[in-house]
């Protein structure tokens, strides 16, 4: 799969010369200041980064993006300290590429002051909107509600924890403009704990193996979609991890670009080790729903036939043994063979019932038409 890899020297904080260094603001209150120390420590580095990127965008008019309006969907949970810096960075980046935009915050039942911060931002800038859940429903639900609100012809999704870099939005849009329908970010250099890195690599390897989609980072929150993709795909449960898989199954083209990943500045991650067990179960759901939902007999019939034939072989061997004069009263293999035959018949029956249901529920609306004349 084609990859768009940024130069290694295009990293904030690596420029050796700064012509107009910005003075680091003074923290007037040691313990109760209005700014957090981690943000201050990275202040100059991030200013250099955005200033350098602005010069690059202004100097590359030949790469002008064809989309008329971009919608940015930001699901969040208890990110009150990150929302304002994220808003400022999104606004700067989208101003650089001179495009109409809207930002939709989806508050997934936050219990801190996140909603208050969002409301203040939306009052000051009408391009910013919000949806707030009464309780926590999960990231997939937040994304689906956000997708239902978008009005742009291109959609960007990103997390609110400042680990996703808004400065990657133009790169995603340019890749999308090459003709792809979904562009997924690849956090090639991750700033995460060691255990999370290893488990993420294993998760992505298994997903690539089972789905056949050759991208490196399925669960990256930073993605770009054409509007028709988010109109077709329905996300629920924990399926937000498998958006590229769902898009590929519906016939959309999928690409990947390397994106920058920042260390978390505020708070702590909202996902524990349990997400990988849930992710594995959801992977089975995705594989079944994308490959066999319209042909259940291929799935249940295969395993049913395998179980039935294995049971016949076992019982056939025992029958031959009985004919030769050996007693079967103390042979547990007999019960195993009978069990395999029964299970095989049941699986085969489930496949037949599934085929009958699919046959009676066919609808032309299920087929996605790309174009017609």
- Mean of the per-residue pLDDT values of the chain: 80
pLDDT in tens, 217-240: 888 989 999 999 999 998 887 788
Model confidence over 62-88: pLDDT tens digits?
A: 457 889 999 999 999 999 999 999 999
Least confident segment among 23-32, 87-96, 192-201, 286-295: 23-32
Residue 33: predicted pLDDT: 43
SS3 state at 47 = helix
Beta-carbon contacts of residue 38 (< 8 Å; ≥ 6 apart): 265, 266
Token output for 249 = 């199954």
Rounded average pLDDT over 26-45: 46
**63: Cα within 13 Å, side-chain hemisphere:** 15
102 forms beta bridges with 71
Please report the DSSP string for 267-311 in residue order: S--S--THHHHHHHHHHHHHHHHHHTTT-HHHHHHHHHHHHHHHH
Query: Is 44 or 216 the better-scoring residue by pLDDT?
Result: 216
Paired tokens of 124: 């000051």
Residue 197 in this model has a pLDDT that exceeds 90: no
| pLDDT reported for residue 272 | 58
- Dihedral-angle region of residue 13 (phi above 0 means left; psi in -120 to 50 means alpha; beta otherwise): left
Query: Which residues fall within 8 angstroms of residue 225, CB to CB, at 6 or more apart?
Result: 154, 155, 156, 157, 176, 181, 182, 183, 247
Residue bearing the bigger pLDDT, 32 or 97: 97
Pairing of strands 128-132, 3-4: unpaired
- For position 47, what pLDDT does the model report? 53
Q: Report pLDDT digits (tens) over 307-333.
A: 999 999 998 988 888 888 787 777 888
Q: Which one of 14-23, 152-161, 265-274 scores highest in mean pLDDT?
A: 152-161
Q: Where does residue 183 rank: exposed (0-12), middle (13-18), buried (19+ CB within 10 A)?
A: buried
pLDDT classification of 4: cutoffs 50, 70, 90: very low
pLDDT at residue 123, as a whole number = 94
Per-state percent for the chain, helix, strand, coil, to nearest 5: 50, 10, 40
Residue 18 is encoded by which pair of tokens?
């700064």
Q: For residue 70, list its beta bridge partners.
A: 101, 154
Q: Which residue stretches of 181-232 are H helix? A: 194-211, 227-232
Name which of 4-8, 101-105, 114-118, 210-214 the model is least confident about. Answer: 4-8
Distance CA 62, CA 372 (A): 31
pLDDT band at 297 (very low <50, low <70, confident <90, very high): confident
pLDDT at 113: 92
The count of residues in the chain is 373
SS3 string, 158-182, reads: CCCCCCECHHHHHHHHHHHCCCCCE
In angstroms and rounded to an integer, the radius of gyration of the C-alpha atoms of the chain is 26
């Amino acid at each position: 799969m084609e990859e768009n890899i940024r130069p290694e020297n295009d990293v904030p904080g690596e420029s050796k010369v700064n012509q107009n260094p910005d003075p680091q603001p003074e923290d007037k209150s040691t313990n109760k200041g209005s700014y957090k120390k981690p943000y201050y420590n990275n202040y100059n580095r991030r200013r250099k980064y955005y200033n350098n990127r602005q010069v690059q965008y202004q100097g590359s008019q030949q790469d002008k993006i064809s989309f008329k309006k971009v919608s940015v969907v930001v699901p969040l949970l208890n990110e009150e300290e990150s929302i304002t810096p994220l808003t400022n960075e999104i606004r700067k980046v989208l101003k650089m590429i001179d495009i109409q935009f809207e930002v939709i915050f989806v508050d997934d039942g936050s219990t801190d002051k996140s909603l208050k911060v969002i409301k203040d931002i939306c009052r000051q800038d009408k391009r910013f909107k919000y949806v707030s859940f009464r309780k926590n429903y999960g990231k997939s639900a937040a994304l689906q509600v956000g997708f239902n609100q978008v009005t742009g012809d291109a959609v960007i999704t990103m997390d609110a924890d400042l680990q996703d870099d808004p400065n990657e939005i133009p790169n995603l849009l340019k890749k999308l403009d090459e003709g792809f329908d979904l562009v997924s970010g690849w956090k090639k250099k991750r700033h995460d704990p060691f255990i999370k890195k290893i488990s993420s690599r294993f998760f992505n390897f298994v997903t690539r193996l089972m789905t056949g989609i050759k991208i490196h980072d399925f669960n990256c929150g930073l993605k770009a979609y054409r509007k028709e993709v988010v109109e077709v795909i329905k996300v629920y449960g924990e399926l937000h991890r498998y958006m590229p898989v769902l898009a590929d199954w519906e016939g959309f083209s999928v690409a990947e670009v390397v994106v920058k990943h920042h260390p978390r500045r505020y708070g702590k991650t909202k996902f524990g080790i349990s997400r990988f067990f849930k992710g594995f179960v959801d992977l089975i759901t995705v594989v079944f729903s994308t490959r066999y939902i319209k042909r259940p007999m291929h799935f249940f019939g295969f395993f049913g036939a395998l179980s039935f034939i294995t049971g016949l072989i076992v019982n056939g061997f025992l029958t031959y043994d009985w004919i030769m004069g050996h007693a079967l009263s103390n042979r547990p293999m007999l019960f195993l063979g009978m069990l395999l035959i029964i299970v095989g018949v049941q699986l085969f029956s489930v496949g037949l019932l599934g085929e009958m249901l699919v046959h009676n529920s066919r609808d032309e609306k299920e087929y996605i038409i790309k174009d017609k004349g």
